[in-house]
Structure 1
Amino acid sequence: MQKLLVWLLLLCCHCAALHSAAQKNSLSYSVVSIKPTRFPVEFTGVDENANGVHIIATVKSLIGYAAGVMPAAISCDKKVCGDQLYDLQAQVDSADIAAYQGLRKEQKGLLLQPIMKERFGLEIHRRSVSVPVYLLAPAKGGVRLVARPADAPRHTTREGDRLPDGIIGFRPNGLQGYGVSLCQLARTLTVGFVESIGQPVLCEGTDRRIYDFVLSWDDQDAKNQSSGPSEHGPTWSQIDASLNDQLGLHLVPSRKEMDGFAVDHLSPLSPN
C-alpha cells in the first residue's frame, strides 16, 4: 500500500477529456465490494493491480479518485462526507484484463463513477475550489542548493552507467536527488509523504535550474519538532525542519484556486 493515494498525481488532469476517453471503451467493474472498515488511517490509499483496484479511504477520497482530482478539490460538508473509512475492492472480468491494463490510471478511476452513483447516490457538479497547499519557497536564510553547471559530469551507477537527470531516490531516512528541479522535489513531497504533509506542495517562482542534493531526517537529530516522529515516516515538522536546515527551503501555507467538484447529494452506503 506504499503506492498510496495515486489521486495526488491527478492534480492537473483534464477531467472532461478523460471522461470522453473512458466512454470510448465498454469496460466496467463486474465484482465490487464496498464496506465500512476500521483500518488504521496509515493504511489508507490506493493499490492498483492487474485486474482491478483496492482502495481504503474516506468517501471524499473515493469521490476524488473517481472524479480524477485530489480529495482537497472535492467540496463536501463534513457532516455529509464524514471521516468513516471504506474498503473498496473492484475487479473486471478475466476477458477484460488486457484492455483494463491498457487504461491510464485516471481512466480506471472514472470506472468507479457509476458505482459511486449507484452505491452512494452520488451527485456532483464542477466548480472552482480553494484548496490549501504548501509553497516550496526559499527559507529566511536563502536557498542553500547550488545549481549544477551544464558541463558538470553526470552521476553514474556502480556499474558505470550514467544516471539520467530528474531522479529522486527514497532512502531509509530521507531523499537523494540527481539533476532535480524544485518543482520535481515539490511533486515528490506531495506524492511520497501525503500522510505527513497532508496537502499538495507546489513550487514557487520560475527557477528551472537543476540540483543534486541529499535530504536526511534522523529521528534522533531532527530539530524543531513539536511532536515525536511517526513510526510510519517523518512528521511534517521533521520534513520542514530538514528542508530549512539542509536545503534552505521552507513549506509556506497558502491556498490555490483549482478546478474541482461540489457534492450535491450523498446517501448512506447501500448494501453490497
Structure 2
Amino acid sequence: MRVSSATMISLNRLRLIVLGLALCGTAACDAQMPLPPLQSGSGGYTGEVPQFDVISVKPHKPGEDRMMMHWGQSDYKAVNMTLKNMISNVYDVKSWLVFGLPGWAESAHWDIDAKVSAPDVKVMSSLTNEQRRTMIGGILKERFGLVVHTESKVQPVFLLTVMPDGPKFKESPAPLPHAEGEKPKPHGMWRMGPGSLSATDMPMPQLAGNLSYFVERTIVDKTGLTGNYDVELKWTPESRANAGTDNGTGDAPPAIFEALKEQLGLKLTADKAPVPTVVVDKILQPEAN
C-alpha cells in the first residue's frame, strides 16, 4: 500500500502504537507497504468488546490519493482504504495472502467513519490490538456481509539466511537504565520507505516481516540470530530499476536482493512453505450512506 517516503514507528517492547498516521504516495507503491498498526492501549480490559453504534461507509472520491487510518477515544476513521487492506489488517496477514475477493472488492476504495455512542473512556483506552481488530472486523461483517475462513496454504516464500562471512550489522546495545519510578523510554525505532529501511533494536523475525512488503512474498527467518540488531539498508526499488535510467546519478544502490548481501550479509532464497491465509467466502457491495 502507499505510505509516505519514511514511516517511523517507536518499538516499545514490540508494542507498536500509532494514533493517526497519514499515508500518501503513488499507485506504484500500492500493496507494498503495511497498514499502520492499530493503537494499542494498556491491554488490561478483559470484558466484552465494545461495538460501533454508528457506521458510515462511502466510496472514496477519485482524485484524492491520501490514505489514512485514525483511532480516537470513541471513533475509528479510514480514508481511501481497499477491502483487501482492511481484511489483511483485521486478520493480521499480508494483503497478498487474502484470497477470494471479487473484482469490485479488489479495486474499490472506501471511506469509513464509525463511532461508539456514550463510550466508557477507560475501557476504550485499554483495548488491545486484537480487540480493536475485532471491532473493525465487525464493520466489515455488518456493512459488507464479510464471511471468511483461515487456512494454511503452501505459497512461494523467501528464506532469510546469513551469508558465509557472517552478518554485517551489530547487536543493539542494552537500553540505558532509568531512575526509579521513571517510565522507560522507547528503545527501538524503525523507519522504512520505498528503497530504504533502517532500524534499531530489531529482532530478525521483525526484519523478515518488514522486508516481505517490498518483495510481496512471505520471508521466513532462518538466520538463527536471536538478538536485537541495528540495521541500515538502501536499494533501488524494482519499478525504478526497470525504468532504464539512473536520472544521471550513476550511483544508484543495487536491487534489494543484492543490497541485502552487500550491506547486511544476508541472503534471500526462493522456496515454498505453508503460510496462514484468509479466504473470503462471502462479501457484498454496500450502499453508500
For the aligned pair, the TM-score class normalised by the smaller chain equals 0.5 to 0.7
Following TM superposition, by how much is the alpha carbon of 1:242 offset from its aligned partner in structure 2, in angstroms? 2.9
Quick one: distance in 1 between partners of 2:37 and 2:253?
20
Q: TM-score, normalised by structure 2?
A: 0.62
Equivalence for 1:184: 206
Could you list the per-position Cα deviations for residues 241-269 of structure 1 after superposition, in whole angstroms to 9, with x for gaps in the alignment? 43232112234444442333322222212
Query: What pairs up with 1:25-40 in 2 under 5 angstroms?
Result: 25=48, 27-38=50-61
Whether 1:208 and 2:244 are equivalent positions in the alignment is no
Work out whether residues 235 and 254 of structure 2, in 8 Å CA contact, stay in contact via their aligned partners in 1: no
Distance in 2 of aligned mates of 1:74 and 1:249 = 28
- Hey, which of these two has a bigger chunk of strand by percent? 2
Report the CA distance between 1:204 and its aligned residue: 1.6
Question: Any idea what SS the aligned residue of 1:35 has?
Answer: strand
Please tell me whether the aligned partners of residues 260 and 267 of structure 2 are also in contact (alpha carbons under 8 angstroms).
Answer: yes
Structure 2 counterpart of 1:47: 70
Residue identity opposite 2:284 in structure 1: S
Q: 1:99 aligns to what? A: 123
CA separation of 1:113 and 1:178: change in aligned 2, threshold 3 A: closer
- Distance in 2 of aligned mates of 1:197 and 1:130: 17
When the two structures are superposed, what TM-score results if normalisation uses the length of structure 1? 0.65
Task: Describe how 1:156-171 pairs up with structure 2 within 5 A.
Answer: 167-170=188-191
1:249 is aligned to 2:266: yes
In structure 1, the partner of 2:280 is 263
One-letter code aligned to 1:61: N
Letter in 2 for 1:170: R
Aligned residue for 2:107, secondary structure, equals coil
Q: 2:241 and 2:199 mapped to 1: Cα distance?
A: 24
Indicate the SS of the match to 2:241.
Answer: coil
Report how many aligned residue pairs link the two structures: 238
Alpha-carbon shift at residue 85 of structure 1 (Å): 1.6
TM-aligned CA distance change 1:239 to 1:115, over 3 Å: same
Report deviation, 1:28: 0.9
> Residue 15 of structure 1 aligns with which residue?
none
Change over 3 Å in CA distance of 1:78–1:213 after alignment to 2? same
Name structure 2 gaps, 5 residues minimum.
Answer: 1-20, 24-33, 39-44, 177-183, 247-251
Map of 1:57 onto structure 2: 81
Extract unaligned runs of 5+ from structure 1: 9-20, 157-162, 230-234
Q: Deviations over 1:16-61 (max 9, x none)?
A: xxxxx98x41511122222222567974463333323223322222
Whether the 8 Å CA contact 1:165–1:180 is kept in 2: the answer is no
User: Percent identity between the aligned chains?
Assistant: 21
Mapped contact 1:168–1:175 kept (Cα < 8 A): no
| Aligned partner of residue 112 in structure 2, secondary structure | strand
Match of 1:85 in 2: 109
Q: Which has the higher helix share?
A: 1
